[in-house]
Amino acid sequence: MHFKKKFPMIILMFSFIGIINNLVNSESLDVVGLIICIFILVLSFVNNKYQVKLVKEQERVEQQWRTTVNDNDKIRKEMEEFTYVFDSFKGTVLFIYDNGSVTYISKSVEELLGVSKSDLNKSRLFFPEYIYPDDLNKVKEAEKNLFLGNSVTLSYRLISSNNNSIIYVLCKGIPVKDTRGSISKIYGQIIDITKGKELERELRHLAYFDDLTELPNRKMLESHLQKAISRSKRHEHNLSLMFIDLDDFKQVNDTYGHDMGDQLLKEVVSRLTSCLREEDVISRIGGDEFIVIIEETSKSEVEDIAKRILSIVAQPYQLADSNMINISLSIGICLYPEGGEDKEILVKNADIAMYHAKNAGKNNYKFYSEGLNMVEDSNARGIFGKLMNKFFN
């Protein structure tokens, strides 16, 4: 009980003591006894009043304490739930950046980076020490935009401590401003998209590469051929296009079955590749049809390559338990720019030359020339004629 609360009672006490002293001196003892009883009653009343107030104050403090404890328990449980939810996102790292450091980060960062949360440098966003070097500037620019108050979304690569593997991530950051307009917090998430990237690469491979031989398909060929023509124009160097077709491949399928035919195609591709330079491009455009693009090579060098291909591919094949299989091919060659200046004409004229090589006895090659168009029959046996027949017949 404070002194201010006790002061009135002290004054009353001393007043009664003075009165009693006067009465004692006047020998009015009966009156003294009465006054003493009254004083005791008053004192008891005052004391009980303050006792009641004291009990109520104590109850209030105890209730406030219980409320505080309950609130703390509630906050603790909410934090536990919050942490559980944060940590339950597999492949997703959630973080809060506050007052110059990462104040919270979910446990999944340990699986993502292969390092304990306690070992992370939390003074910087996005953990720059784990960012793939080529992506560092991009991430720094995103961090700068965040602190300017702009939300960001970007993808980049991280280097995990687990075998130094490359991880593709998508990061999203949202800045939060205080009442003064300053950035007070940044909420963010880092999502592991590595599997998605791998699937994307697989789908791209399926879209641009032949499933059986792993060679570039027609779509990839068109893109590469256009770029090769552009390079030849710019640098004024030679460009040669070979159109290759296996001779009588249908008989192999009919005799040995399509599985054996597929094995033979793979072996033929292996031999074709061995005859070419690393920078040359070979593409499968049909069942037994291939196109080869050769840059910066003279006509005589291309002729030598064609002869080498014919010789190597014509050697017998031993496939599984079958007998020896023999196959040959015919090659049509068109030179840029003499035989054509765009990709469609180059392919068409190489196809015409290939059919002349096949009509000349197969296992042969032929260069395209203007004279070949004079004897090209009206049935358009080339690739474009076959395509038209597929559409209209």
Give 315's DSSP letter: S
- Confidence label for 22 from pLDDT (cuts 50, 70 and 90): low
Residue 59 located in a structural domain: yes
Say which range, 8-22, 182-196, 263-277, has the weakest mean pLDDT.
8-22
Say which range, 2-11, 233-242, 243-252, has the weakest mean pLDDT.
2-11
Most confident of 110-114, 123-127, 241-245, 316-320: 241-245
- For residue 233, the domain's CATH number is 3.30.70.270
pLDDT tens figures, 33-82: 566 666 666 666 666 666 667 667 666 766 776 666 555 566 556 555 55
pLDDT of residue 388: 43
On whether both 103 and 217 belong to a single domain, the answer is: no
On whether both 275 and 315 belong to a single domain, the answer is: yes
The end-to-end CA distance of the chain, in Å, is: 110
- Confidence label for 284 from pLDDT (cuts 50, 70 and 90): very high
CA 269, CA 157: separation in Å to the nearest integer?
Answer: 36
On whether both 75 and 96 belong to a single domain, the answer is: no
Rounded to the nearest 5 degrees, what angle is found at the Cα of 367, between the Cα atoms of 371 and 390? 80
User: pLDDT averaged over the chain?
Assistant: 80
On whether both 142 and 71 belong to a single domain, the answer is: no
Radius of gyration of the chain (CA): 46
Report residue 338 as tokens: 């003499």
pLDDT at 253 over 80: yes
On whether both 46 and 174 belong to a single domain, the answer is: no
- For residue 172, the domain's CATH number is 3.30.450.20
On whether both 239 and 387 belong to a single domain, the answer is: yes
Residue 85 located in a structural domain: no
- Confidence label for 379 from pLDDT (cuts 50, 70 and 90): very low
Residue 217 located in a structural domain: yes
Greatest C-alpha distance within the chain: 161
Of the candidates 151, 171, 198, which is a domain's last residue?
Answer: 198
Residues 6+ apart with CB under 8 A from 346: 225, 229, 241, 334, 336, 339, 340
Residue 379 located in a structural domain: yes
pLDDT of residue 98: 81
On whether both 232 and 321 belong to a single domain, the answer is: yes
On whether both 219 and 192 belong to a single domain, the answer is: no
Q: Return the half-sphere exposure (C-beta side, CA atoms, 13 A cut-off) of residue 249.
A: 23
pLDDT tens figures, 217-228: 998 999 999 999
Residue 18 located in a structural domain: yes
CA 162, CA 194: separation in Å to the nearest integer?
Answer: 14
Residue 16 located in a structural domain: yes
pLDDT at 389 over 80: no
Backbone angles phi, psi at 355, to 5 degrees: -70, -30
CA 224, CA 288: separation in Å to the nearest integer?
Answer: 20
Of the candidates 60, 80, 100, which is a domain's last residue?
Answer: 80
pLDDT of residue 162: 77
Number of domains in the chain: 3
Say which range, 52-61, 135-144, 327-336, has the weakest mean pLDDT.
52-61
pLDDT tens figures, 100-134: 778 777 777 888 888 887 777 676 777 788 899 99
On whether both 238 and 356 belong to a single domain, the answer is: yes
On whether both 44 and 125 belong to a single domain, the answer is: no
Domain coverage including residue 23: 3-80
For the whole model, what pTM was predicted?
0.60
CA 115, CA 119: separation in Å to the nearest integer?
Answer: 7
Of the candidates 80, 101, 126, which is a domain's last residue?
Answer: 80
- Classify residue 247 as left (phi > 0), alpha (psi -120 to 50) or beta: beta
Residue 203 located in a structural domain: no
How far CA 6 is from CA of 52, 56, 93, 301, 346, in Å, comes to 15, 18, 62, 118, 113
pLDDT of residue 89: 55
CA 247, CA 363: separation in Å to the nearest integer?
Answer: 7
pLDDT at 6 over 70: no
pLDDT at 9 over 80: no
Under 8 Å between Cβ of 363 and 310: yes
On whether both 180 and 302 belong to a single domain, the answer is: no
Report residue 135 as tokens: 């992506």
pLDDT tens figures, 41-51: 666 666 666 66
H-helix segments, the chain: 3-25, 29-87, 108-113, 136-147, 194-208, 218-235, 249-256, 258-274, 299-313, 343-359, 370-375, 383-392
Q: State the residue for tokens 């793979």.
A: 266
pLDDT of residue 378: 41
On whether both 192 and 104 belong to a single domain, the answer is: yes
Residue 204 located in a structural domain: no
CA 365, CA 292: separation in Å to the nearest integer?
Answer: 13
